[in-house]
Structure 1
């Protein structure tokens, strides 16, 4: 299961970027997948910090399951209705996207105080290790996404999308595959803008953590985790708007040319996600009460 639950929330909106998974519950045990960064990827927590974090994690999971998951099920119902009635339109996708973004922001806002408390307790070595992890992350992504030529980046992007779409819709027709190629070409050097903005965010995060005992540290972290868009570079803001528009256009066109078998496969996938959520013990307990 992908560690980025926000992709699950988006589902077909934006770009069908969910990674194939077997069980929602496998990832749901790690709440940090819901926030814009993954603590375990960048922080080397000591035993005391891990114990504290695990206890907070349980509390946040309980809150999330009882207050947020019911809304996700409603969201899936709206998504399913769009497919069943063949109303996958640009307007409808924008609405689902905004709802998903709001859900992500609400969860990030809820757990930000815990992130702040953890970060304030880091020692200098842990902060240095975090910065080293950021640098390693940047090098890895540059090699993967920027080192290839632009033509190779576009081809790789098409292939990744083909794989995701095949999982959700089944085999694509030649015209659908060509539409994916057109979509990837329209994004151009989006990799460059995306990575530059990611580095920009990490630099601001590192600068904030360096001053973690300052009075305005909580506000800075809340902005970094909850209001990330306010810190985007102008170039990425423009690129992201284009990325969203191109993704919606792709989805609208693919669904307009989809076969009954493709739509049935998609509906079955949505049912599977709904079942995984409904099977979570915490949600069952909420329904019984």
Structure 2
């Protein structure tokens, strides 16, 4: 499923947002793309919960579309200007990254009260099913990302990135391909830290939901959904900072080696995302008011 907003939540540079994030209109109709966790993957809501959820969804999407999307268009303008003026630098990418993180955090804060109410209303069976979904998610990711040898993990990561880049930039040159290989190699066993931290977060989330009727529950969920970085393991915090730096360096180098045709393709892709935003009826209505 397309997840532009989820990509915004974790965007490090445009290179990490490439792929699976271009069909904004489709994604925007699902609440799970504007909060930092995928609700429908882990909860089986009953009829009453779904009815309440759908009503809250309408309210959140209306708020988000009218108050937040204009800022996203401005963000895309700044991104597009960077490419047009050949100013894709580490400093500029850090600025765009911070802006994206702040945008998604603001949305997460707005959504969290609804998440708290929904979670407090879960019965024990639903909680058990959620925990089993977490366990299934862990097994699946460990099978896909940790079971292969480190050499194979690096090759798989290279292949995934080349595929994304091919979509956004077009065919890569041999020099660009070599740079992607170097990037993937430099990340080493990053998969291990990423999945370990994901499991760490899920365990804390499960523990919080187990105490969903306690006075501290709301604050705990807000921390888990809005301030997730404060709960990262020290090892992952260090690994994430290194991953961000490697991603920025990769994209700076790729753009330095890019051809006019590649830059034109990238600008068209960015414009396509902008059009998806502008075509949303809720944004058009807000702009007419």
Q: CA deviation at 1:13?
A: 1.4
Per the alignment, residue 164 of structure 2 pairs with 164
Distance 1:12 1:263, change over 3 A: farther
1:120 and 2:117 equivalent? Answer: no
Task: Quote the Cα distance in structure 1 between the aligned partners of 2:207 and 2:272.
Answer: 42
Q: CA deviation at 1:36?
A: 1.5
Give 5+ residue unaligned stretches, structure 1: none
Distance 1:92 1:224, change over 3 A: same
Distance 1:146 1:10, change over 3 A: closer
- Secondary structure in 2 matching 1:172: coil
Give 5+ residue unaligned stretches, structure 2: none
After superposition, the C-alpha distances for 1:114-147 in whole angstroms (9 at most, x for unaligned) are: 0000000000000000000000000000000000
Distance 1:133 1:11, change over 3 A: closer
Q: CA deviation at 1:99?
A: 0.1
Task: Quote the Cα distance in structure 2 between the aligned partners of 1:69 and 1:145.
Answer: 34
Distance 1:22 1:3, change over 3 A: closer
Native 8 Å contact 1:32 1:39 kept in 2: yes
Per the alignment, residue 221 of structure 1 pairs with 221
Q: CA deviation at 1:21?
A: 5.7
Q: CA deviation at 1:14?
A: 5.6
RMSD: 1.3
- The alignment's TM-score, normalised by the length of structure 2, stands at 0.97
- Secondary structure in 2 matching 1:15: helix
- Number of residue-to-residue matches in the alignment: 289
Q: CA deviation at 1:60?
A: 0.2
- Secondary structure in 1 matching 2:16: coil
1:270 and 2:270 equivalent? Answer: yes
Per the alignment, residue 243 of structure 1 pairs with 243
Distance 1:8 1:221, change over 3 A: closer
1:40-59 aligned at under 5 Å gives the runs: 40-59=40-59
Task: Quote the Cα distance in structure 1 between the aligned partners of 2:10 and 2:168.
Answer: 13
Per the alignment, residue 28 of structure 1 pairs with 28
Per the alignment, residue 256 of structure 2 pairs with 256
